[in-house]
Chains A and B, each alone.
Chain A
Amino acid sequence: MFMAALILMVSTGLFFFYLQAVCQKILRRQFTQEFFQSIVNANRLEFPSVRKAIEDFGSPVEYPRLTVTLKCDFLALTYLLKNAANVNQRYSYEERLLILYFKLVFVSLVTRHWLKLRETPAALKLTAILQYFANVVGERVNTVRFGNLAASDYLLNL
């Protein structure tokens, strides 16, 4: 009985650990250039400033602003992921997994705040996910711009 309970706990923990490791591996993907900057500028996203605040001062901006900022950027980027230069108009499997991962990390951020633990690691993870999304969107837009079709041609052909 004790062994079965131990195996259940260890296995469940390892299951979630491996899922998290897969997400981290996906986030490590190298893009040919930093596409996210143009997307951030064009859409006035705020996650780079959140990350800069964490890196410079060691702690994020005040909590309510942090959550609203990250959530708004997440909504904007997931909309762009689905609709900007995406012929299929749907998320890929890895994007779906990362969206789920974002939501789980967001819950962990809220929980950490309630428990008065350090929020910085969770906030950094969230900004890394948002940067990945912005890079994917930027890469797609870049492909459309420099492919055979101009962006306007693409939109007219939809």
Chain B
Amino acid sequence: MPFKGDQLLLCGVQYATYALEVWVCLSLVWGGRWRRLKGLGLYVTSLFLLDGVARPAVSNFFGAKSTPFYYFYWTTDVVFVLGAFAVICGFLRRACTREEKLWSFVRLLLIFVFLIVLGVSTLSLTRHYANLYILYIIELSQNLYFTCLVLNTLLYVMLQQLAIDDDELGLLSCGMGVQFAGEAACFALLHLTADSTMARVLTQFLAPCCTLAMLWIWIYAIGKTPQTVSDRYEPRRDEGLVEAVADQ
């Protein structure tokens, strides 16, 4: 089937996204930052494996318009959003490394917010009784998207307020923000325009472009920002023992 111009462009953006996902993983491994950014690495790897490998495989096997692919697509979508929520939790933990009291409060807040999102998504089901599973995960994924955007903004404000000098974390948070803000705006636009063709086409391009922007910002954050003090200097386990012996 011949490609139309917009489909070709969309395809290009999609492959550029896969390439950047691989690039993020490689720069984490080569830069030696894998251990410190485990959560981020896992998230990007799963993004690549599910979106770049598993989805096309399922689509080829069952067909792009089949029910199994439809179910698989939305289930993996909710996995992505849950992963993103976990990554933001990790970022918040990193921001509160030196503020244990604040972290205990933030941890409670995160649990509370997650339970609220689950509750609100469940409540919305009372209006629909058919096809509960898909409706539930679509609702949950949309609610979680907006929650992640709010939490990410909270993280950014916290970084500014606590004057945490961690440029890498700041940039990673900005990348997340671009992705979630763009996607949330797309969802809202679709809702407002009652799923119009124009909004659908715009969303089709904007959403992958936001992911591209996020990955590019992450690559910049991983590759260009200087290593933080905690990264450069990690005390060895036996260092305390050596100091104690030296004191004696």
Interface bin, chain A: 20 to 34
CB distance from B23 to the nearest CB of A (A): 12
Q: Is the CB of B188 within 8 A of A5?
A: yes
Q: List 26 A-B contacts (CB under 8 A).
A: A1-B192, A4-B192, A5-B192, A7-B184, A7-B187, A7-B188, A8-B189, A11-B180, A11-B181, A11-B185, A14-B149, A14-B177, A14-B181, A15-B185, A15-B210, A18-B177, A21-B170, A22-B175, A22-B217, A25-B170, A25-B171, A26-B220, A28-B167, A29-B224, A93-B216, A93-B220
In the complex, chain A residues whose CB is within 8 Å of the CB of B36: none
- Is B156's beta carbon under 8 Å from chain A? yes
- Is B89's beta carbon under 8 Å from chain A? no
- Is A12's beta carbon under 8 Å from chain B? yes
| Sample of 20 further A-B pairs with CB below 8 A, known A11-B181, A29-B224, A94-B224 | A4-B188, A4-B191, A4-B192, A5-B192, A7-B185, A7-B188, A8-B192, A11-B146, A11-B149, A11-B182, A15-B182, A15-B185, A18-B174, A19-B213, A21-B170, A22-B217, A25-B167, A25-B171, A26-B220, A28-B167
CB distance from B131 to the nearest CB of A (A): 22
Mask, B136-155, CB within 8 Å of A = 1, is 00000000001001000100
- Is B54's beta carbon under 8 Å from chain A? no
Q: Is the CB of A12 within 8 A of B185?
A: yes
In the complex, chain A residues whose CB is within 8 Å of the CB of B177: 14-15, 17-18, 21
- Is B178's beta carbon under 8 Å from chain A? yes
Mask, B44-78, CB within 8 Å of A = 1, is 00000000000000000000000000000000000
Mask, A8-36, CB within 8 Å of B = 1, is 10111011011101100110111000000
Q: Is the CB of B184 within 8 A of A11?
A: yes
In the complex, chain A residues whose CB is within 8 Å of the CB of B187: 7
A residues engaging B (CB < 8 A)?
1, 4-5, 7-8, 10-12, 14-15, 17-19, 21-22, 25-26, 28-30, 93-94
What residue of chain B has the Cβ atom nearest to residue A12's Cβ? B185
What residue of chain B has the Cβ atom nearest to residue A22's Cβ? B174
In the complex, chain B residues whose CB is within 8 Å of the CB of A29: 224
In the complex, chain B residues whose CB is within 8 Å of the CB of A18: 156, 174, 177-178, 181
- Cα A128 to Cα B152 in complex, Å, equals 27
In the complex, chain A residues whose CB is within 8 Å of the CB of B213: 19
- Cα A112 to Cα B86 in complex, Å, equals 41
Q: Given A18-B181, A25-B167, A29-B224, A11 and B188 touching (CB < 8 A)?
A: yes
- Cα A93 to Cα B187 in complex, Å, equals 28
Q: Is the CB of A22 within 8 A of B149?
A: no
Closest 7 CB pairs of A and B: A18-B177, A15-B181, A8-B188, A11-B185, A11-B184, A14-B181, A7-B188
Q: Is the CB of A12 within 8 A of B174?
A: no
- Cα A1 to Cα B213 in complex, Å, equals 29
- Cα A11 to Cα B186 in complex, Å, equals 9
What residue of chain B has the Cβ atom nearest to residue A93's Cβ? B216
Q: Is the CB of A8 within 8 A of B185?
A: yes
Q: Is the CB of B178 within 8 A of A19?
A: yes
8 Å CB contacts to A: which residues of B163-212?
Answer: 167, 170-171, 174-175, 177-178, 180-182, 184-185, 187-189, 191-192, 210
